[in-house]
Amino acid sequence: MSQLQGNTIDIPDKYKPIWEASLPLLKQGRPGDDEHAAETVANVLRFADIVPFDPDVLIPVAMLHDIGHSAILPEHFKYVTGSQKVRNGKLVHMLAGAKIARDILSAVGYPSDKSSEIVEIISMHDADQLTGLDDWRSLYDTSNKQVFHDLDSLDRYNERRLSKMVAGGYYGREQMLNELRKMLDDFFYPEFRRLAQEELQKLENIESHE
């Protein structure tokens, strides 16, 4: 079991060694990375019957996809050059995360064929947020990549994540809502786009009452 803001998520036993190995590193990353990982796992479990995917791939991906942030210290960002440092940092965390994930999966004895696909997905899961890619959608060339893209994106459409982004100084609230509106076009599956639209409506209603 994993406690998350008063709720309990039940991680199947076969994945618990991965979760136990990843959790300390997730806590070293950005504030809330451990919560985001747990919530993404919960979404994978919740939507298992909506679209087809391989849970033996996507549950570990959900646990491990942002673990690369644990390897990036604030002072490292002076080496991440360019006008879009935060976005370029996305590439760094994907590559670092793929290496860390490979080591964890090897250490717990996870099947090598599944591990290879997990590491590949982690190495490119935020490709839609990189600059200079004309056709980022072509990189999501499997159903597992597309499903995980949508589930990872869906977790951005909640008040906790929105408030943390605003508090972190990345955007003002209205700017962040505009980003979420634009991101609706990026979903691969209409089922997940519809859920994101419903959650966005709730966030907009909160905004209108403030």
Residue from 99, 93, 95, 193 nearest 153 by CA: 193
Tell me which residue range forms the domain holding 20. 2-141
Q: Strand ranges (DSSP E) for the chain?
A: 2-4, 7-9
In the listed set 99, 116, 141, which residue is the last one of a domain according to the structure? 141
CA dihedral angle for residue 171, residue 177, residue 141, residue 32, rounded to 10 degrees: 60
Residues 77 and 179 in one domain: no
Residues 6 and 106 in one domain: yes
| DSSP for residue 47 | T
| DSSP for residue 54 | -
- In-domain check, residue 150: no
Q: Is the pTM of this model over 0.75?
A: yes
In the listed set 114, 141, 168, which residue is the last one of a domain according to the structure? 141
Polymer length of the chain: 210
In the listed set 141, 164, 191, which residue is the last one of a domain according to the structure? 141
Per-residue pLDDT tens, the chain, 210 aa: give them: 343 333 456 888 999 999 999 999 999 888 888 988 999 999 999 988 889 899 999 999 999 999 998 887 666 656 555 545 556 667 888 999 999 999 999 999 999 999 999 999 999 999 998 877 779 999 999 999 999 999 999 988 988 888 877 776 667 888 889 989 999 999 999 999 999 999 999 999 876 555
Residues 35 and 116 in one domain: yes
Residues 110 and 160 in one domain: no
What is the count of structural domains for the chain? Answer: 2
Residues 131 and 185 in one domain: no
